[in-house]
Structure 1
Amino acid sequence: MGDNVVVSNMELERLLSMKGGKGEGSYANNSQAQAIHAKSMHHLLKEALDGVQLQDPNIPFVVVDLGCSCGSNTINVVDVIIKHIIKRYDALGLDPPEFSAFFSDLPSNDFNTLFQLLPPLANYGVSMEECLAANNHRAYFAAGVPGSFYRRLFPARFIDVFHSAFSLHWLSQVPESVMDKRSSAYNKGRVFIHGASEITANAYRKQFQADLAGFLSSRSLELKRGGSMFLVCLGRTSVDPTDQGGAGLLFGTHFQDAWDDLVQEGLISSEKRDSFNIPVYAPSLQDFKEVVEADGVQRGSPLVVNQPGDASEVGKALANTCRSVSGVLVDAHIGEKLSEELFLRVERRATSHGKELLEQLHALVDLGKVKKMRCHTVSGA
């Protein structure tokens, strides 16, 4: 059965990260869908940035990306934010301030890969216009900030703009009742909320709302007066919390069945499977509204397939995407060798259902076109 141990909630914050490096299963090479979604919302981001109160140009302008992970997406969005703010200063005939960008994620995040992707800082004395014109340079000072965004990360009234995309669905912990065999919410036989009982789903929902409240409380103290926060959240349109939309596509049937394969083949025990749960919750708009007022989300596909007509490509895309966001936890729980076996089975199962998966992907995208909703800007108090 191996000598690895159950990943406890205390260890989760220390271990959780997207798959680092630049390999086939890395997050850096499996986050194209997030990049497409982010680009489609640039106009909404810029609209939010138009409401940011510009400070004295002698005061540095501070941008933070929360849940930055280790790919180029976070760098691209920081570029968009800073370039737009510079244009606002230019329109007022003011010299822009210096900029600082903080990239924040849990301590286990692969900051090394992220920093290797950062373009070099423009040389001292180079004008801002020259810096922006040179695509191979950046116009801001950069730093990494390790820690959970469900707690304080920065001094009070320090940040002008917070940005966070596709991160808040990650819970601070698996709800304790879900892991308690004595509880009616115990998620026996399952590794995710998708298809679980209503009681289990409600436990996840309460954990999400408690985490979100902590997140917003911390940011309200750190945000400057007149600052703004732009959040992009993985969500669902169904009122049924066990129907997890795109998250269910990644961690639902094929992921669950792959775990069951390992149990049936005697590679792991049923107890080993039952002691693993993905700490993810895709909220409905109502779930979110109960914590803070909001007016919408934009739906899209959870993965990108280069050759959608090829079932094997569909299977590989789903398995690689699933592994890029959950592989670190799976490795810690059952070891790298069994983890390799698990995701091979995910790929095989997804490949055998390639046509069905494509239909589900198209349904998600079409729903996003019909139900296009606006993002909400949370301003500093």
Structure 2
Amino acid sequence: MGDNVVVSNMELEKLLSMKGGKGEGSYANNSQAQAIHAKSMHHLLKEALDEVQLQDPNIPFVVVDLGCSCGSNTINVVDVIVNHIIKRYEASGLEPPEFSAFFSDLPGNDFNTLFQLLPPSANYGVSMEECLAASNHRAYFAAGVPGSFYRRLFPARFIDVFHSTFSLHWLSQVPECVMDMKSSAYNKGRVCIHGASEITANAYRKQFREDLAGFLRSRSVELKRGGSMFLVCLGRTSVDPTDQGGAGLLFGTHFQDAWDDLVQEGLITSEKRDSFNIPVYAPSLQDVKEVVESDGSFAINKLEVFKGGSPLVVNKPGDDKEVGKALANTCRSVSGVLVEAHIGVKLSEELFLRVERRAASHGKELLEKLQFFHIVASLSFAL
């Protein structure tokens, strides 16, 4: 990728992914916080699974993780789902069915790294007997499904459980008016929604609502009657969409300042900075509630804000350099692919180096203030 590339919305779907591989800045090595946050919500996930109607044991039970990314978190959550459903079948005096698990994300996702984390007993071509005989007792057939979850991905009435965590805040595109210099919603001088004008924020909000509506329409066709969805995305507690909470602090402070550094040092133009925007929107409870109710296909079993905690996992909280590196790697793991596509690998390295330096000078403050809140939704078909 050269330094004169502007990532269009058409290209975004092909490019957007968490940082692949197993390097220092990879998602696989910088998603410990997501693992901690997800584990803290397992009791809510199990409540949602208790609402799933058990089918004929002769019919495979199908689980999907939407926005799976490329680390072990998605494998861990599928384990939780499968094991909980097995226990429900056994408690009902039924022989558990075979299980299929589909891991889905955009085409740019590093499925190779993900599949390397799957033990042999979770792959195609392994019998149920072999699965049960395996030392880790993993018992499902795994497959990858590339594509946007804002469109159809599966046959009708095919899925028993849809699960998605930390993905629905990623939009299908940056709102076009936000990138239009002639528009009143043009996000001049900024690379994310946090701290933007109300008009800009409302454009992001509209895009989120359209995307979530498309997501619900697709799932309403694919989900079996009696199935369930458990959805988690970054959220906010403020009614003001320009205040994006933890997501805003992640991308709207030191990350934003690092882009400004590149402009001030003459490494990129201000126009180059302004043509980059993070396609992330942290919704409020009301945002989600209104879209679900407007769609009408699903009943809300649970909808709440859940405090997830800090996205930074450090061994020495008093070590500001470690905090700075943790923030830079967190930013890189989720936005590095887009940054590299926009300004090239060399300037991307310069950008994240400045993120690290700036964050290190505010280490204590970051650990205290950088807290994520999540919107948790458990949905099933409306009666």
Give the TM-score, by structure 1 length.
0.91
Q: Secondary structure at the match of 1:227?
A: strand
5+ residue gaps, structure 1, are 362-376
C-alpha displacement of 1:302: 2.3
C-alpha displacement of 1:303: 2.5
What's the RMSD between the two structures over aligned residues?
2.5
How much identity, in percent, do the aligned residues show? 91
Q: Secondary structure at the match of 2:339?
A: helix
Separation (CA, whole Å) in 2 of partners of 1:80 and 1:234: 21
Q: Judge conservation of contact 2:178–2:187 (CA < 8 Å) in 1.
A: yes
C-alpha displacement of 1:380: 3.1
CA offsets, 1:191-233, max 9 Å, x none?
0111111110000000001000000110011000000000011
Residue equivalent to 1:252: 252
Using a 3 Å threshold, how does the CA distance of structure 1 residues 135 and 252 change in structure 2: closer, same or farther? farther
Using a 3 Å threshold, how does the CA distance of structure 1 residues 86 and 354 change in structure 2: closer, same or farther? same
Q: Secondary structure at the match of 2:322?
A: helix
How many residues are treated as equivalent by the alignment?
363
Separation (CA, whole Å) in 1 of partners of 2:206 and 2:149: 18
Q: Secondary structure at the match of 1:199?
A: helix
CA offsets, 1:139-183, max 9 Å, x none?
000000000000000001000000000000000000001000110
Separation (CA, whole Å) in 2 of partners of 1:124 and 1:10: 33
C-alpha displacement of 1:58: 0.6
Stretch of structure 1 that moved more, 114-123 or 60-69: 114-123
Using a 3 Å threshold, how does the CA distance of structure 1 residues 3 and 29 change in structure 2: closer, same or farther? closer
C-alpha displacement of 1:294: 12
Q: Secondary structure at the match of 1:233?
A: strand
5+ residue gaps, structure 2, are 297-308, 371-377
Stretch of structure 1 that moved more, 119-128 or 56-65: 119-128
Q: Does 1:235 align with 2:235?
A: yes
Give the TM-score, by structure 2 length.
0.90
C-alpha displacement of 1:252: 1.1
Q: Judge conservation of contact 1:247–1:302 (CA < 8 Å) in 2.
A: no
Separation (CA, whole Å) in 1 of partners of 2:321 and 2:280: 27
Separation (CA, whole Å) in 2 of partners of 1:124 and 1:165: 25
Separation (CA, whole Å) in 2 of partners of 1:2 and 1:48: 46
C-alpha displacement of 1:8: 0.3
Stretch of structure 1 that moved more, 134-143 or 178-187: 134-143
Using a 3 Å threshold, how does the CA distance of structure 1 residues 355 and 225 change in structure 2: closer, same or farther? same
CA offsets, 1:312-367, max 9 Å, x none?
11111110000000000000000000000000000000001112112203xxxxxx
Using a 3 Å threshold, how does the CA distance of structure 1 residues 359 and 237 change in structure 2: closer, same or farther? same
Using a 3 Å threshold, how does the CA distance of structure 1 residues 167 and 224 change in structure 2: closer, same or farther? same
CA offsets, 1:68-108, max 9 Å, x none?
00000000000000011111111122111110000000000
Separation (CA, whole Å) in 2 of partners of 1:203 and 1:127: 50
CA offsets, 1:280-314, max 9 Å, x none?
00001111111125999xxx222222211111111
